[in-house]
Structure 1
Amino acid sequence: MSAVDRPFAPAGDDAVLPFAVEALDLRGRVVRLGPAIDTILGRHHYPPAVSRLLAEAVALTALIGTSMKFEGRFILQTQSDGPVSMLVVDFDAPDAVRACARFDAGAVAEAVAAGRDRPEDLLGRGHLAMTVDQGAHMSRYQGIVELDGRSLEEAAHGYFLQSEQIPTRVRLAVAEVLTRDPGHEPQRGWRAGGLFLQFLPDSSERTGHRDLHPGDAPAGTAASVEEDDAWVEAQSLAGTIEDDELIDPAVGAETLLYRLFHERGVRVFEPQPLVERCRCSRDSVKAMIASFSPAERLDMVENGRIGVTCEFCSTHYDFDPQEFETE
C-alpha cells in the first residue's frame, strides 16, 4: 500500500488507533489525548512539571492497556525516591482512565529551578509496576521494572524486554497548548500523545536485538546480537517524529502514520475511544469506611463529620458518623 488504508472514521482526540505495517512486521498504536487529559490534570492543579510527568504516564497506560483483551483493570504505578514519589494510572477496560500523583512540592520547585525537571530527574530511583487485575476470581499479574534514573519511555522498553522479550519502542509527548476558536478567547489546555511499536515477525529468531544482556562477558561488553533490518528501519522512522507531531490537534493519528510509513504501507484498525472516568462512588466510599473498626472511624471524625476526598477525581464525600452505627 502507498498510503494509510483507513476503513474507519478518523480517530480524533481521546482515542487509541491500532495499526500494522506488515512489510516491517510491526504492530503498534497511536494515542492522542485532549479533553480527557486536560480534565484529569485540571482537577488536581499540580505544578506543570508534575502534570507533564503524569500525562506521560496516562498516555503510556492507554497504549498498553488498550492492547490487552480482557475485562478488568490495568494499573501503572511508580514508587520512587524522586521529587515525584508516586504516579498511579488506573485503566478500567475497555475505555476509562483516571490518574493521580504524589510529590514533594518543595523538592519539585527546587528541581525545576535547578533545571532538573526531566522525567528521570523527577522520578529518581525506585520501580515501575504494571498490574493486570481481571477480577476477584482471577489471578492478578504484575510485572516490575527498575526506575534507575530512566524516563518512562526507557522503563517501558526495559519492561517489555524483561517480561515479554518483545522488541518495543515508545515515544511520548506532552505539552500545554494555546487554542484559538473563532469568536472565543484563547484557551490553554493540556495535550498528550504517544506511539507504541512492537516488532512481531513470524520467526522468533528475528527478534534478537542489541538490548540483550551480554551475560557473563566482562563489564562493558555489548551484546553481539544484530538487530533485524526491518526493526532497525522501524526504529529509525520512529526517531524522526517530533514531539509536536504527537500532540498537534491539526495532525491526526492517520496523518502521522502516513508520514512515517507511506513508503511501506500501513493498515489501521478501528479506533478505541478513551474517557476520563473515576470508579469512586458514595456507596463504595461508604463501604470502605464501614470496613474500619468503630475506634478507627472515631479517629476520622472532624467537626462531627467524616469526610473523604478521592485522590483520583478530587470528589469529596461527607458522612454523618451515625450512618455507620449498628443496632
Structure 2
Amino acid sequence: MAGAAAAGSHAGDDLSLPFAVEALDVRGRVVRLGPALDAVLARHNYPPAVSRVVGEAMALTVLLGSALKLEGRFQLQTRSSGPVNMIVVDFDAPDRVRACARFDAEAVAAAAAAGETATGALLGNGHLAMTIDQGSHASRYQGIVPLEGQSLEECAHTYFQQSEQIPTLVRLAVGEEMTLQSPNGRYYRAGGLMVQFMPHSADRLRQADLSPGDAPTGHQIAAGVEDEAWNEARLLAETTEAHELLDPLLPSEQLLYRLYHERGVRVFPAQPVREACQCSRERIMGMLGGFSRQERADMVGDDGRIGVTCEFCSRHYDLDPGQVEAEIAAAALADSDEGGERDA
C-alpha cells in the first residue's frame, strides 16, 4: 500500500515530528499514522475493537521508538488475561514498524456487545514490557509495567515514573475515516502526543515520593511540589483532544502551535514511518536453529515440508527439511571455526 496512493492517506501521515519548548524545558513528539497502521489492520482483518487497541499500541511504540538514534529496536509487548491477550509491536530504527495481536474472538465479540471495549477492559490483567535493544555495542534494557485494567496512556505514565523517572504525559487516539476508496469502506488512523520534562538541573526532575504504605498514626507524608514549568506544559498538553490527533486537515505543526505558541515551540525535521516486516529466510533459519533436531523433525508436515508463517506479515516460508538440516549444520560448523580462530 503506497503512501501516496493509499485510500484515505494524507501528507502528514506516517510521520513522527520531534519538538521542543525550551522556555518550559520540555521535549516531545507528535505521531500520525495512516497507511502504515491501515496496512497492518487490513492484512489481519482484526475486529474493530482489536484494531483500536493495536492502533494505540502502534502509536505509543512509534512515539517511544522514534527516539532511538541511527539503529536499534524498540519493542512493546503485552501479555494479559483479557480478550486481547497479546500484542507485539516492533519499531526498527530509523523508520520500520510492524505489529500483531492475539485475541479470543468470542470474548472480543461478547465485550463489544456489552460495550466493554475500553483498552483496559480488553487487555485485562497481566504485564506490559518495553524493550530497547541497540545492538551488540550496548546493553539490552527492559522495563515492565503491570496491567491492571488501565489504558496504555496510564501504562506509559507508570513506566516513565518508575523506570525513567522523567515526568511524561502521553495522549493516544485511534479513529476510523470513512472512504469509498477502501474495500471495506473504512480507513484507520492513529495519533499520539508525548511531552517530557527535561530540565538541565537534576533537582528540578525530582517528583513526589511514592507512598510508604502503612505509616504510623500522625506521620505526615510530604507532598511533592511540581515544577511550575512542567505543570504549565502538562496542563496545556492535557487539553489535546482525540479529534485533534486524528484530523488530517490539522498538521502536527499547527497542533503544537495551538498548544505552545505563547512559549515558543520549535519543531525539528519529521521522521517518516513505514510498515515493514523484518522477517526473512535467514531469520527463519536462525529461529529453527534454536530448536533440537528432533523438534525440527516434529515440525515436518504431511507434505514432507516445514512450513513457517510470519505472525506479523503472514508471509509463508515453505522449507525442505533436508536443506534446513544441511544449512543449520553448516552454520554451526562456521561458528565453531570462527571460535577456534579467536581462541588461537
- Give yes or no for the alignment of 1:271 onto 2:270: yes
Offset of residue 26 of structure 1? 1.0
**1:325–1:218 CA distance, 2 compared to 1 (3 A):** closer
Q: Which residue of 1 aligns with 2:250?
A: 251
Q: Which amino acid aligns with 2:54?
A: L
Q: Do the aligned residues in 1 keep the contact of 2:68 with 2:94 (CA within 8 Å)? A: no
TM-score when normalising by structure 2: 0.85
Moved more, 280-289 or 45-54: 280-289
- CA–CA distance in structure 1, aligned partners of residues 115 and 192 of structure 2: 24
Q: Which amino acid aligns with 2:224?
A: V
- CA–CA distance in structure 2, aligned partners of residues 186 and 91 of structure 1: 27
- Give yes or no for the alignment of 1:312 onto 2:309: no
- CA–CA distance in structure 2, aligned partners of residues 156 and 213 of structure 1: 17
Unpaired runs of at least 5, structure 2: 1-9, 330-344
Q: Which amino acid aligns with 2:188?
A: W
Q: Which residue of 2 aligns with 1:160?
A: 160
Q: Which residue of 2 aligns with 1:242?
A: 241
Q: Which residue of 1 aligns with 2:211?
A: 214
Per-residue Cα deviation, 1:267-307 (whole angstroms, up to 9, x for no partner): 00011111111110123223433553443223222231221
**1:161–1:291 CA distance, 2 compared to 1 (3 A):** closer
Q: Which residue of 1 aligns with 2:287?
A: 288
**1:145–1:323 CA distance, 2 compared to 1 (3 A):** same
Q: Do the aligned residues in 2 keep the contact of 1:78 with 1:86 (CA within 8 Å)? A: yes
Moved more, 27-36 or 62-71: 62-71
Q: Do the aligned residues in 2 keep the contact of 1:11 with 1:17 (CA within 8 Å)? A: no
Per-residue Cα deviation, 1:103-138 (whole angstroms, up to 9, x for no partner): 111111111111211011111111111111122454
TM-score when normalising by structure 1: 0.89
Alignment of structure 1 residues 100-111 onto 2, 5 Å: 100-111=100-111
Alignment of structure 1 residues 53-68 onto 2, 5 Å: 53-68=53-68
**2:291 alignment partner, SS class:** coil
Alignment of structure 1 residues 62-81 onto 2, 5 Å: 62-69=62-69, 71-81=71-81
Q: Which residue of 1 aligns with 2:134?
A: 134
Size of the alignment, in residue pairs?
A: 314
Q: Which amino acid aligns with 2:243?
A: D
**2:196 alignment partner, SS class:** strand
**1:209–1:85 CA distance, 2 compared to 1 (3 A):** same
Higher RCO, 1 vs 2 (CA within 8 Å, ≥6 residues apart): 1
Q: Do the aligned residues in 2 keep the contact of 1:65 with 1:93 (CA within 8 Å)? A: yes
Q: Which residue of 1 aligns with 2:5?
A: none
Q: Which residue of 2 aligns with 1:120?
A: 120
**1:242–1:281 CA distance, 2 compared to 1 (3 A):** same
**Structure number, greater radius of gyration:** 2
Alignment of structure 1 residues 143-222 onto 2, 5 Å: 143-179=143-179, 187-209=185-207, 212-216=209-213, 218=215
**1:162–1:11 CA distance, 2 compared to 1 (3 A):** farther
Q: Which amino acid aligns with 2:192?
A: G
Q: Do the aligned residues in 2 keep the contact of 1:119 with 1:151 (CA within 8 Å)? A: yes
Q: Which amino acid aligns with 1:307?
A: G
Q: Which amino acid aligns with 1:261?
A: Y
Unpaired runs of at least 5, structure 1: 1-9
**1:69 alignment partner, SS class:** coil
**1:288–1:225 CA distance, 2 compared to 1 (3 A):** closer
Offset of residue 146 of structure 1? 1.2
- CA–CA distance in structure 1, aligned partners of residues 325 and 71 of structure 2: 36
- CA–CA distance in structure 2, aligned partners of residues 260 and 325 of structure 1: 59
- CA–CA distance in structure 1, aligned partners of residues 184 and 115 of structure 2: 29
**1:134–1:202 CA distance, 2 compared to 1 (3 A):** closer
**2:122 alignment partner, SS class:** helix
Per-residue Cα deviation, 1:210-269 (whole angstroms, up to 9, x for no partner): 5x41325649x8761121222222222112111011011111111111111111110000
**RMSD (CA atoms):** 2.4
Q: Which amino acid aligns with 2:228?
A: D
